[in-house]
Structure 1
Amino acid sequence: MVSDEPFEQWVRRREEEQQRKVGRLRLNTLASGTERGSHVDPDEPRLISRWDGYAWEPVSVARNWESARFCLFGQRRVQMRMPARWRAAW
């Protein structure tokens, strides 16, 4: 919260942000230990969860990262986004 922002405005902005995220999906590795990048354990099962506005609800379990990626993105090729300044140097 910005110190010069009225509380009511902050609450309204926060609620709008929460509603904008409803339906968003995420993946979590079902391996033991702390959560790591998808490239670390690509063969471990993944939990697919959906944000309902208040909490992440489990939707499905995928066999591995590739299956989970297909569930989320279908046939589309998913490319990592790289800032333009990095692409120029690449």
Structure 2
Amino acid sequence: MDDEPLSEWADRRDAKIGHLRAVPLVPGEGPQAGHVNPEAPRLIQRWNGHAWEAYGFAANLAEAKRIQYPDSKIETPAQGPGPAPKPLGPGTGRHRKPQASGPERR
């Protein structure tokens, strides 16, 4: 078995110190995916090399991302309706249902 030297393992562990993660504060078992319930408040946790410790608080996912990634320019979605979806163009694509014609059209 090829064991890695302890110094390399320690270097990898120390490289992660200070990493932040946002955990939704919702009832349930443990952390969930970040995209679930984006309006829920978030606890910001920091890795100290041994365990995740409380670091801060955010009101929602967008604010949590601003805390986690202060140098990046995260755009928040514009409020209001977006552009209208384009209807399907003409054609008989592989998965399209044939168009009914006449009065029996639903």
With normalisation by structure 2, the TM-score equals 0.60
Runs of 4+ in 1 over 3 A off after TM superposition: none
RMSD (Å) for aligned C-alpha atoms: 1.9
- Name 1:40's counterpart in structure 2: 36
1:30-69 alignment runs, 5 A limit: 30-34=25-29, 35-69=31-65
Q: Deviations over 1:57-76 (max 9, x none)?
A: 11111111111111122351
Counterpart AA for 2:24 = T
Counterpart AA for 2:59 = R
Instruction: Give the total of aligned pairs.
Output: 73
Residue 101 of structure 2 is aligned to residue 77 of structure 1: no
Identical positions, percent? 32
| Greater share of helix | 1
Work out which structure has the larger RCO, using CA pairs closer than 8 Å and 6 or more positions apart in sequence: 1
Shift of 1:4: 2.1
Structure 2 unpaired stretches of 5+:
76-106
Counterpart AA for 1:41 = N
With normalisation by structure 1, the TM-score equals 0.69
Structure 1 unpaired stretches of 5+:
79-90
CA distance in 2, matches of 1:40, 1:52: 26
